[in-house]
Structure 1
Amino acid sequence: MIDFTIAICTYNGEQRIAEVLERLESQVDTENFSWEILIIDNNSTDNTASLIREYQANGSSPYPLRYYLETRQGLAFARQCAVENARGDWVGFVDDDNLPETNWVAAAYAFSQTHPNAGAYGGIVRGEFEVDPPPGFEKVSSFFLVRERSTQQYIYKKKDKILPPGSGLVVRKQVWLENVPSVLFLKGRVGNSMLASEDLEAITYIQNAGWEVWYNPEMTIYHKIYCHRLEQDYLVSLVRGIGLARHHIRMIRLSFWQRFLFFPLYFALDLWRFSSYYVKHGYKKGVDLGTTCKIEFLYSTLVSPFFLSRKYLFEAKNRLLEKS
C-alpha cells in the first residue's frame, strides 16, 4: 500500500532531475507512511529515460521509483498520466526544476491527514536564481509561480479568483479523476507555444466540484530559474501565454448562462484596463521590464477570447476529421 505519490513531470530533464531526486532521497520524518516517486517523461529527446533506468538498476532510491513515458506533448498530459498511474491516495507534483525542502513530503502528507475536505493544496514557492534577476523582475515574479502568500494556512475562496500554482501542488487522486477532464483544453507550453495555465484549469474543476483548495505554508519548494528565463523576450512570451489563457479560466468558473452575461462585461473591463494603463505608461514599453510585461499581459488578456475561439474551432475541426 502506498499513501503518497511524488510525481515528477519532465521534458529533457537529464541535467536537472538528478538534483530533484537527491533532494527527495534526503526527506525526513517519513517513516510513518509509505510513499513513492513517479517519473513522467513527456516525450524527452535527451537521455532522461536512460538516467532513470540507471537509478532503478542501482537501487539508489530508498523509495519505489517508477517511470512512465507520456508521448502526448504538454504538461497537462503528463500530469494526467501521473494521476492515473499513482498508487498513492494523494499526488504531489514536483517539476524537474523544483527543489523541495527536506520536510516537504512529510508536511504535505501530514496536511492531507488533517483536512478531509481538501481536494488540492499548495505551499510556498521561492525563486532560486542562476543569476541576479534584472531590474523590475519583482513586478513579474508571480508569473514564475514564485509566491509566498502568508505564514498562516487558509482556503482559497472561489470569489477571490486566486489558486495555487502547479509547482508543489498536491491533489487528492480520486477527486482529480472524478472531476478533472482527462484531456484539458489548455495543454501547457509546447514547442514555440507559451499558452499556459493548464494547472489553474485543473484546480478550477476541483474547486467547482465543491472541494476545498488550501494554502499550506509548511510546504516550501524552491523553483530554479535559469538565466535564459530572465531575458526580456522570454518574460514577455511567458506573460503573453498566461494572458491568452485567461478567458478560458474565467469562463469555466462560471455556469453556462453566466458566460453570456459576463463575457461583454469582462471585455469592456479589459479594454478599459489596457487603454488606461497604456495611455499612462506606454512610453516605458521596451525600456522598463515591469511595464513592458504588464502591457503585454493586459493586451493578451484583452484578445484572449478571440485567440481561443480560433483554437476551439481548430480543435473541433481536427476531431471531426479524426472521426471521419
Structure 2
Amino acid sequence: MNKRLYNLTVAIPTYNGAPRLPKVLEALRHQINPEKLAWEIIIIDNNSSDETAQVIKDYQSNWAEDFPLEYYFEGQQGLAFARERAIQEAQGTYVAFLDDDNIPAPDWIAAAHQFGINYPQAGAFSGQIHGEFEVQPPENFKQIAPFLAIRQHGSKPFLFDPDNLRLPPGAGLVVRKQAWREAVPSRTKLKGRIGKEIVAGEDYEALLYLHQAGWEIWYNPEMHLNHCIPRQRLEREYLLPLARGIGLATCPLRMINAKTIDKPGIWVKTILGNLRRIIQHRLKYGDRLKSELIPAFQMEFYRGSLMSSFYWLNNLKWGQAGAVDKAEGK
C-alpha cells in the first residue's frame, strides 16, 4: 500500500526522551497552519531504555489531529543512524529535524515550508535557536553558546559558508529530502556521540556533502525555536567532553571536500594553528583555566582540534587497511 505524500515531515530523533517529548509534541499540536499544509510527525527512537515507546503509544491512542504521529525504532545507536532512518521513513518533501528538547514557535512549520518554496536552491536551512535555561548560565556563556546549538544571526536571510565550516547545527535543521538522498551517504564517517565515543560533527558532515553536490545552505530568520538546557548541561562534567568532541571533528570535516593535493597542508595547518591557540590561551589565562569554566571549555576545544589531525590520520589508516583486506578477500 502506498503511503501518503506530505509537504513536510517533522522528524524527532530521541534517546531516552520520555520526559521531554510531551512538551515538543504539545508545541507541534498547536502549530499555525494557514495554508493547510499536509504534514506528519515521526519519532525515531534511537534504542531508548526508558518509557519513550509507551509515551508515544499513549499519545497515538488519543491522537485526533489531522496530521499523523508515527513511531519507528532504530536500534543502531548514534544520531547519524537515527537521522538516516528518519530520511528513509519520511514522506515529506522537506524533513524538519527537531531534537527532543527543541520547542518550535507556533509558526515554525509554516515558516519552514514557505522558505523552502522561496529558496529552491536551498538543500538545507536553519533558523533562530534561543536558549531556555533551567538555571542561570555561567558568566560569559555567550562565548560558547553556539556549541550548545544556540544561534541567532539577525533578521535577514543569508548563505552559510561551508568551505570555512560556518554551518548551522542539526537542531531545527530543515533539509530537502531528495537532496539529502542524492548527496549524503547512508553511512557517514562521523556517527555522533555514542557511549564513550565523543566525536561530534555528524550534522556538519551531512551539510558538507550537500554543499559538494551544489546545494545551498541558508539561514531563515523567520523560524524560531527554544532549546531547553537543563542544569547538568551547564556543568564542567558535561561541557568539557562536549568541547573535546566538537574539536575532534575539525580535521575530518575539513578533509571531506578537500582536494587530495591540499590535504597534507590542511593537516599541518590544523596542528600548527591549534598549537598557537593553546599556547596563547595558556599565557592569557594561566591557572584560571582550573577555575573559570568558559576559558576551560575553549581550551578543551583547541586541544580536541589539535588531536583531530591524528584522529583523522588514524581513521584513514584503518580505512586503507580495511580496503586492502576487502580486496584480498580477508
TM-score range, shorter chain: over 0.9
Specify whether residues 309 and 262 from structure 1 end up closer, same or farther in structure 2 by C-alpha distance, changes over 3 A only: closer
1:275-290 superposed matches below 5 A: 275-290=279-294
Runs of 4+ in 1 over 4 A off after TM superposition: 311-321
Quick check: 302-311 or 101-110, which moved more?
A: 302-311
> Alpha-carbon deviation of 1:277?
2.0
Conserved? CA contact 2:270–2:305, under 8 Å: no
Q: 1:11 aligns with which of 5, 8, 15?
A: 15
State the partner residue of 2:253: 249
Asked if 1:2 is matched to 2:16, the reply is no
Tell me the alpha carbon deviations over residues 219-242 of structure 1, each in whole angstroms, 9 at most, x when there is no partner. Answer: 011100111111112111111100
Distance 2:204 2:27 in 1: 26
Specify whether residues 131 and 58 from structure 1 end up closer, same or farther in structure 2 by C-alpha distance, changes over 3 A only: same
> Alpha-carbon deviation of 1:134?
2.0
> Alpha-carbon deviation of 1:84?
1.2
1:55-134 superposed matches below 5 A: 55-134=59-138
Distance 2:22 2:284 in 1: 47
> Alpha-carbon deviation of 1:316?
6.8
State the partner residue of 1:190: 194
> Alpha-carbon deviation of 1:35?
0.4
One-letter identity of the residue aligned with 2:303: Y
Tell me the alpha carbon deviations over residues 65-113 of structure 1, each in whole angstroms, 9 at most, x when there is no partner. Answer: 1111111100000000001111011100001000000100000001011
Asked if 1:261 is matched to 2:265, the reply is yes
Distance 2:54 2:85 in 1: 20
State the partner residue of 2:146: 142
> Alpha-carbon deviation of 1:247?
0.8
Conserved? CA contact 2:254–2:266, under 8 Å: no
> Alpha-carbon deviation of 1:185?
1.0
Q: 1:176 aligns with which of 174, 180, 190?
A: 180
State the partner residue of 2:203: 199
Instruction: Work out the percentage of aligned pairs sharing the same amino acid.
Output: 42
Asked if 1:223 is matched to 2:232, the reply is no
> Alpha-carbon deviation of 1:126?
0.6
Specify whether residues 129 and 317 from structure 1 end up closer, same or farther in structure 2 by C-alpha distance, changes over 3 A only: farther
Specify whether residues 180 and 261 from structure 1 end up closer, same or farther in structure 2 by C-alpha distance, changes over 3 A only: same
State the partner residue of 1:297: 301
Conserved? CA contact 2:95–2:174, under 8 Å: yes
Tell me the alpha carbon deviations over residues 236-260 of structure 1, each in whole angstroms, 9 at most, x when there is no partner. Answer: 1111100011111111131222212
Distance 1:311 1:287 in 2: 34
State the partner residue of 1:42: 46
> Alpha-carbon deviation of 1:193?
2.7
Quick check: 128-137 or 180-189, which moved more?
A: 128-137
* Structure 2 length-normalised TM: 0.93
Tell me the alpha carbon deviations over residues 171-223 of structure 1, each in whole angstroms, 9 at most, x when there is no partner. Answer: 01011111111111111111133221110111111112111110001001110
C-alpha RMSD over aligned residues: 1.8
Structure 1: gaps of 5 or more residues: none
One-letter identity of the residue aligned with 1:156: F
Quick check: 111-120 or 154-163, which moved more?
A: 154-163
* Structure 1 length-normalised TM: 0.94
- Paired residues, number: 323
> Alpha-carbon deviation of 1:138?
2.2
> Alpha-carbon deviation of 1:309?
3.2
Asked if 1:27 is matched to 2:31, the reply is yes
> Alpha-carbon deviation of 1:270?
1.9
Distance 1:30 1:230 in 2: 38
> Alpha-carbon deviation of 1:276?
2.1
> Alpha-carbon deviation of 1:18?
0.8
Distance 1:203 1:137 in 2: 27
> Alpha-carbon deviation of 1:63?
1.1
